[in-house]
Amino acid sequence: MQKMCANGWCKQSFEVTEEDRAMLTKLRPTIGGEIFDLPEPTMCFSCRLQRRTAFYNCRSLYKRPCDFTKKNLISIFSPDKPYTVYHKDIWFSDQWDPLQYGRAFDFSRPFFPQFMEFTESVPLQSIAHIGPDNINSDYTNDNYKLKNCFLIFDGEQAEDCYYGHTFVLTKNCVDFVFLYECELCFECVHCQKCYDLSYSRYCINCSSSWFLRDCIGCKDCFGCANLRQKQYCIFNEQKTKVEYEAFLKEWVSDSYAASATMKERTEAFFLTQPVKAVRGEQNVNSLGDNLSECKGSYWCFDCNQQEESRYCTDCLMSSKDSMDIHVWGDNQELCYNCCVIGAGSRGLIGDYYVTQNCTDVLYSLYCSHGCANLFGCVGLRRAQYCIFNKQYTQKEYETLVPRIIRHMQATKEWGEFFPPEFALFGYNETMAHTFFPLTKDECLKRGWQWCDFEAPVEATLVIPADQLPDNGSDVPDDILNWAIICEVSGKPFRIIKQELDFYRHHHVPIPRRHPNQRHRDRFSLKNPFMLFPRECAQCQKPISTSYSPDRPEIVVCEECYLATVY
């Protein structure tokens, strides 16, 4: 049956299927022997994803003092925020006790506003941080096992990487989104096991190439799409080694104008080459885009190793029997309506940033290290049977939590994720703004927050981007002391030495856009988390595709695509 999305401004209808209901039944929590039904979603898939990601500041970093040591640090909390913020090392130490902030639940008020008031009273970690310490990588968030990295987010195990988002095992990569085991890649989106690849997307096992799309196992190729195991191809035409090298010599330069022209030419060429309706590898009975090794999963996007999961996004590591989860997985099971949970999480509902072997934690933030049976808690580790950070006995917990759930059922909060009006960040600081951009006015009209704080940029010279020399090699080293005004957003940004060295070494131009703008540009090369009905451009069979019907690409079904590439 079709339902209307509860958000008045959305006006989309959506369906809650029998399979959804069966999953909600599977996900019901049992507390003190009592089973609590989960209500059907009230919002459409996009609004649910927007609501979860409106809590997720992954990429906005600021300088501010630590409220414990008073020393300056890098934080996801701008200095104008009302929260108490501790350096991550202090926060994870025994120098303070989160249980000290415990308070009783007030049954005369709804859950969400009092929980967010309570959150304001508990010290928060300066950056979202899991696992062992990162080395020389302060200007990063939401990662672990980094070495010498700068402005990279949402990933693990990287070395000498700058300006990236979502990655596993990358080395010497700059300006990227979704890289998996890559080295020396530049301006790449969704690439796997690639080496020395530039301006490319959706490639696997490619090397020493430029401007590729949907290629596998290619090397020394330029401006190609849908090729397999090729060498010395230019715009999908086979050339000799000599011809290829002559072409590269003529084209490859660090000229900004030349690279812009080549980008345009390649995009125009790509439009003449078919794309597969949805991308994915080794999936069984699964529906979604950019899936790999998924089984029985439905309406999932950018996920790997998902089993029997529904409406999940960016879960790059294994998860099972989960629904409505954005980021990340890694042995996660039976979780519902959460954002950024993973590493052995089980039985989580309505959580944000609950990680590392937590089980049966409900409506909590920033809890980790084997917590179990928590409700409405903030910043706990190795704790159990707590409500609003107050310690209870198992018996007390199992009596009080059912009462709170019934209270939340009455206030219609039960089963919903925290509303954006209570987010810890301005909407424009969160991933929701990347996926569903809004203007400040639209945002305020919905009662959501906006962050106007602008960090000052110090520089000896402020230069508009179009006044930079066209060739990177003509830019003096002194650029490291300048602020460049982004040609699109007008925001000033700086260049770091390692980055400049990378551009020079790889003969690519100096950027004229702010790192956040570059991130937005790259993100715009990804399709939305949505499937549309369309016809295969070759056999006219109905297909589900992430390419909306108004887009100009030649979208084909899996069979027609395979017939083209092999």
Which residues are at the interface with Zn ion (CB under 5 A)? 5, 7, 10, 12, 44, 47, 536, 538-539, 541, 557, 560
Who contacts 27 (Cβ-Cβ below 8 Å, separation ≥6)? 38, 321, 323, 334, 335, 336, 349
Q: Which is nearer to Zn ion, 20 or 499 (CB)?
A: 20
Q: How far apart, in Å, are the Cα atoms of 347 and each of 30, 341, 354?
A: 10, 11, 11
Q: Which is nearer to Zn ion, 260 or 563 (CB)?
A: 563
CB of 544 to Zn ion, least distance (A): 13
* Whole-number Å distance between alpha carbons of 494 and 506: 19
Whether the CB-CB separation of 350 and 363 falls below 8 Å is answered with yes
My answer on whether omega of the bond before 328 falls inside 30° of 0, hence cis, is yes
CB of 563 to Zn ion, least distance (A): 8
Helical pair 394-410 and 111-121, crossing angle rounded to 10 deg: 130
CB of 48 to Zn ion, least distance (A): 8
* Whole-number Å distance between alpha carbons of 283 and 285: 7
CB of 172 to Zn ion, least distance (A): 40
Q: Which is nearer to Zn ion, 400 or 560 (CB)?
A: 560
CB of 553 to Zn ion, least distance (A): 14
CB of 419 to Zn ion, least distance (A): 14
Q: Which is nearer to Zn ion, 7 or 471 (CB)?
A: 7
* Whole-number Å distance between alpha carbons of 150 and 164: 9
Written as one letter, the residue type at 128 is A
How crowded is residue 97: how many other Cβ atoms within 10 Å of its Cβ?
Answer: 9
Q: Which is nearer to Zn ion, 47 or 316 (CB)?
A: 47
Q: How far apart, in Å, are the Cα atoms of 116 and each of 302, 423, 425, 432?
A: 30, 8, 12, 19
Q: Which is nearer to Zn ion, 33 or 533 (CB)?
A: 533
Who contacts 187 (Cβ-Cβ below 8 Å, separation ≥6)? 174, 175, 176, 198, 199, 200, 508, 522
Q: Which is nearer to Zn ion, 50 or 283 (CB)?
A: 50
CB of 46 to Zn ion, least distance (A): 6
Whether the CB-CB separation of 468 and 475 falls below 8 Å is answered with yes
Nearest C-alpha neighbor of 80 from the set 524, 455, 384: 455
Q: Which is nearer to Zn ion, 318 or 538 (CB)?
A: 538
Q: Which is nearer to Zn ion, 43 or 161 (CB)?
A: 43
Q: Which is nearer to Zn ion, 47 or 197 (CB)?
A: 47
* Whole-number Å distance between alpha carbons of 264 and 245: 22
CB of 25 to Zn ion, least distance (A): 24
Who contacts 381 (Cβ-Cβ below 8 Å, separation ≥6)? 92, 98, 367, 368, 369, 370, 371
Please compute, for residue 10, the number of CA atoms within 13 A of its CA located in the half-sphere on the CB side: 18
Q: Beta-strand (E) ranges in 388-501?
A: 390-391, 461-464, 482-485, 492-493
Q: Is the C-alpha dihedral spanning 550, 553, 557, 560 positive or negative? A: positive
Phi/psi-derived region of residue 314, left when phi > 0, alpha when psi is between -120 and 50, beta in every other case: left
Whether the CB-CB separation of 479 and 495 falls below 8 Å is answered with yes
Q: Which is nearer to Zn ion, 241 or 541 (CB)?
A: 541
CB of 556 to Zn ion, least distance (A): 5
CB of 279 to Zn ion, least distance (A): 16
* Whole-number Å distance between alpha carbons of 353 and 53: 11
Burial 211-242 (b: 16+ CB within 10 A, else e): bbbbbbebbbbbbbbbbeebbbbbbbeebeee
Q: Which is nearer to Zn ion, 4 or 480 (CB)?
A: 4
* Whole-number Å distance between alpha carbons of 427 and 423: 8
CB of 560 to Zn ion, least distance (A): 3
In the DSSP assignment, the letter for residue 528 is P
* Whole-number Å distance between alpha carbons of 164 and 187: 9
Please compute, for residue 470, the number of CA atoms within 13 A of its CA located in the half-sphere on the CB side: 7
CB of 50 to Zn ion, least distance (A): 8
Q: Which is nearer to Zn ion, 7 or 357 (CB)?
A: 7
CB of 529 to Zn ion, least distance (A): 13
Q: Which is nearer to Zn ion, 98 or 274 (CB)?
A: 274
